[in-house]
Amino acid sequence: MIVPTITALAAISVPSGMGRWFAATASGLLRSEDRGAIWTPAETSLAFHSALTVSPDQAVVLAASTDGIWRSTDLGDTWRLRPLVQPAPIMTAIACSPDFAVDGTVLVATLEDGIFRSGDHGQTWHHASAGLLDYNVNAITFLDHTRSLAGTSSGLTRSDNAGRHWDQTDATVDPSGVVAFAGNGMNLFGIDESDRLWRLWDGRKKAIPVLDDMVIGVHLLPGVSDDRLLIVCEDQIRIGSLSGDEWTAIHRMADGRSAVASALVCVGDRSELLIADETGTVYGVGHGNVGLWAR
């Protein structure tokens, strides 16, 4: 059996209660109704799917492929293709505004084609790279509904108007660019092209390395009193405070397998981390309320 490489994960809660998981792979988008036991192809295409997101209000699921953006408004039952530009760019990340239900803003990062933006919940897209000096964008995130950050091969660039105009920041990541983000308005962590974890943003101009493991994912775990960070390394999952000085291992990958993708799903006060390994297995970790993560 040929196991497709999983590049991104996402999940939504559905009325039946089991939830619906999505996995973007090199040969299409897969969907599971039973927490990863059986996967079926979603009705998108067999093209390479590189990024995936569910809007904060769970109303829209967006999948980036080499065809364009696939969009579903019925929890992933049916999909429609929304082209960006021809030929279609290689997309690396999708980010929805925290206020998506109201402003409908979504940003897509691409390699070589800069950033694309939608202001109507992902229905139409236009180029939004004004001010961008490096069009190789690896990661993108919203800090709040107006401020966003993009990680390029040459550093960080920020927007203060919901991704319509970008300004290069002074913050530098040495030696290479940012490929993933997690954080809030005060603290920001990123993974560089060598899979190391850096603290990028707390008012300092220079990023500080905080973890030298092979980090493949980093997620902000919202807490009641303080936020914490979940770090998905190749062989284990760690948790720590945003001060970034102590990390506790809370899960180890089974049978020497390596994690290849992860997604944090938060519904109410319940959170679950989805992990995909190189064999194509996907499972949830830490299902429960936020407090259980610390154990």
In the complex, the residues that contact other proteins under the rule CB under 8 A are 87, 112-114, 126-127, 129-135, 146, 152-154, 161, 164-165, 167-168
Are 137 and 150 a contacting pair, CB within 8 Å? yes
CA atoms within 13 A on the CB side of 181: 32
Burial class (CB in 10 A: 0-12, 13-18, 19+), 176: middle
Q: Which is nearer to other proteins, 166 or 293 (CB)?
A: 166
Shortest distance in whole angstroms from residue 113 CB to other proteins: 6
Q: Which is nearer to other proteins, 68 or 280 (CB)?
A: 68
Shortest distance in whole angstroms from residue 104 CB to other proteins: 14
Q: Which is nearer to other proteins, 89 or 244 (CB)?
A: 89
Shortest distance in whole angstroms from residue 77 CB to other proteins: 34
Shortest distance in whole angstroms from residue 83 CB to other proteins: 15
Q: Which is nearer to other proteins, 79 or 125 (CB)?
A: 125
Q: Which is nearer to other proteins, 112 or 246 (CB)?
A: 112
Q: Which is nearer to other proteins, 40 or 86 (CB)?
A: 86
Q: Left, alpha or beta for 112 (phi > 0: left; psi -120 to 50: alpha)? A: left
Shortest distance in whole angstroms from residue 30 CB to other proteins: 31
Shortest distance in whole angstroms from residue 155 CB to other proteins: 9
Q: Which phi and psi (to 5°) does residue 197 adopt? A: -95, 130
Shortest distance in whole angstroms from residue 135 CB to other proteins: 5
Q: Which is nearer to other proteins, 119 or 244 (CB)?
A: 119
